[in-house]
Structure 1
Amino acid sequence: MTAAHGRTGRPPLTEERKAAIRLEIARAAVELFIAQGVGATTGEQIGQAVGVSSRTVWRYFPTKESCVRPLLSTGIDTIATALRRWPPGQPLDEAFDGLWTADAALPGADVGALVRLTRTEPGLRAVWLQTHDEAEPAFARALAERGGLPDDDVRPAIWAAMLNAALRAAVEQHACRTGPGAERARADLMATLRTALAAAAAGIS
């Protein structure tokens, strides 16, 4: 009788571990991009910084520029949830109060440096804009659910576009400033985001 052969080797990675690896690769890529430029950075260098092979890097990301996406997309789901729970009559910036203390919802120092790089690196700029483009439908669905609106109502899509543009403008403006310190920089970002949210909320019912 032939014995059944079970699976050998390493167990499959959990989704949480895969997400953690993606984030590690993203942070390593940003550090290398800042230190030596995008053009001089290779997939092999990014992998070495994380302790994985370049093959692993390309398994998770199609290009070296796309390695930064986990950092840029941080907080999209959190923002959509806040929009979904936004009570009628409450100022929009107050609906985001719980996010100001959540690191996952606010860009960190590495993201600020990355956003500055998108000004001069077309490949990174494309990833940055694509990330916002993909965030817009998530915001629209949340706003439609909040208002109990049908799928064919165009207003949530318009509101989402306004909100998305306001958030992007706020982060870009903040990133291009020279902050005196981490704490003050964070406070400045929160103030800029509040101003952007108030401006966007003026057109959202």
Structure 2
Amino acid sequence: MSARHGRTGRPPQTEARRTEIRREIARAAVDLFVTRGVARTTGEQIGEAVGLSARTVWRYFPSKESCVTPLFSEGIDTVTAFLREWPPGEPLERAAARWLAAAPAVAGGPDRATVGALVRLTRTEPALRAVWLQTYDEAEPAFARALAERAGLPPDDLRVTIRAAMFNAALRAAVEHHAWHDEPSAAGAGLEATLSRALAVAAEGVE
């Protein structure tokens, strides 16, 4: 009988490493989608860009379009953190301005112009738009929990549910409006101004 015990082969990946691999795949996918188009991009090309096989890419994502999910999700996570930290009694416009001024770009991630180009693709690529909308659908409960904590209300309170839906719709509308109407050269300050206006409208009446 063999005296060896335990697992053999490569050691299991840490969650941090899995997250980083997902980000690497996402960055490669968005660059390829923007430069080549979604239809002309393959799983093999995405994998090759990060030194992985297509088979490995499919272990992390069910489709090539879903490869961009981490980029969308990171933005949602940032907004959720902001809502949780928004001090009661502070006007949202002031809090949002401070948050937007301090929010750095994700290290190693695509620049805002590239993300804007990706969002523009969601207008003409149904599978990519489905991923985009799914991200916001999953974001709404997170927004509700953050707003509930801030207000000292249960997360299923109707007021919290409605406010979370308002913030969610305002954010998506603002990002899409900026991507579809503003010049790419305005990707920085223009997006911040659009988000600030959208959040201020959604927060009317919220203390």
Query: Equivalences for 1:24-39 in 2 at 5 Å?
Result: 24-39=24-39
Query: Equivalences for 1:173-192 in 2 at 5 Å?
Result: 173-176=177-180, 177-180=182-185, 184-192=186-194
Deviates more, 1:189-198 or 1:73-82: 73-82
Q: Give me the whole-angstrom Cα distance separating, in 2, the residues matched to 1:114 and 1:36.
A: 12
Deviates more, 1:88-97 or 1:56-65: 88-97
Cα distance, 1:69–1:186 mapped onto 2, change above 3 Å: same
Q: Which residue matches 2:95?
A: 95
1:132-170 deviation line (CA, Å, top 9, x unaligned)? 111111000111111111244111111011111111111
Deviates more, 1:76-85 or 1:162-171: 76-85
Q: Give me the whole-angstrom Cα distance separating, in 1, the residues matched to 2:155 and 2:187.
A: 39
Aligned partner of residue 74 in structure 1, secondary structure = helix
Answer whether contact 2:92 2:200 (CA < 8 A) is retained.
Answer: yes
1:50-85 deviation line (CA, Å, top 9, x unaligned)? 110111110000111111101111132232222122
Unaligned segments of structure 1, at least 5 residues:
none
Q: Give me the whole-angstrom Cα distance separating, in 1, the residues matched to 2:154 and 2:68.
A: 35
TM-score by length of 2: 0.89
Answer whether contact 2:148 2:154 (CA < 8 A) is retained.
Answer: yes
Answer whether contact 2:116 2:184 (CA < 8 A) is retained.
Answer: no
1:83-135 deviation line (CA, Å, top 9, x unaligned)? 12222221113323234332249972321111010011011111111101111
Q: Give me the whole-angstrom Cα distance separating, in 2, the residues matched to 1:201 and 1:166.
A: 10
Q: Give me the whole-angstrom Cα distance separating, in 2, the residues matched to 1:169 and 1:152.
A: 24
Unaligned segments of structure 2, at least 5 residues:
none
2:201 is aligned with 1:196: no
Query: Equivalences for 1:42-61 in 2 at 5 Å?
Result: 42-61=42-61
Aligned partner of residue 87 in structure 2, secondary structure = coil
Q: Which residue matches 1:157?
A: 161
1:24-65 deviation line (CA, Å, top 9, x unaligned)? 111111121122221221111111111101111100001111
Q: Give me the whole-angstrom Cα distance separating, in 2, the residues matched to 1:196 and 1:152.
A: 24
Answer whether contact 2:26 2:70 (CA < 8 A) is retained.
Answer: yes
Q: Which residue matches 2:62?
A: 62
Q: What's the % identity of the aligned pairs?
A: 67
Answer whether contact 1:27 1:110 (CA < 8 A) is retained.
Answer: no
Query: Equivalences for 1:135-150 in 2 at 5 Å?
Result: 135-150=139-154
The Cα of 1:2 is off from its aligned counterpart by 4.3
TM-score by length of 1: 0.90
Q: Give me the whole-angstrom Cα distance separating, in 2, the residues matched to 1:158 and 1:93.
A: 19
Query: Equivalences for 1:50-129 in 2 at 5 Å?
Result: 50-96=50-96, 97-100=98-101, 101-104=103-106, 108-129=112-133
Q: Give me the whole-angstrom Cα distance separating, in 2, the residues matched to 1:153 and 1:196.
A: 23
What is the CA RMSD across the aligned residues, in angstroms? 2.0
Answer whether contact 2:155 2:161 (CA < 8 A) is retained.
Answer: no
Aligned residues, how many? 202
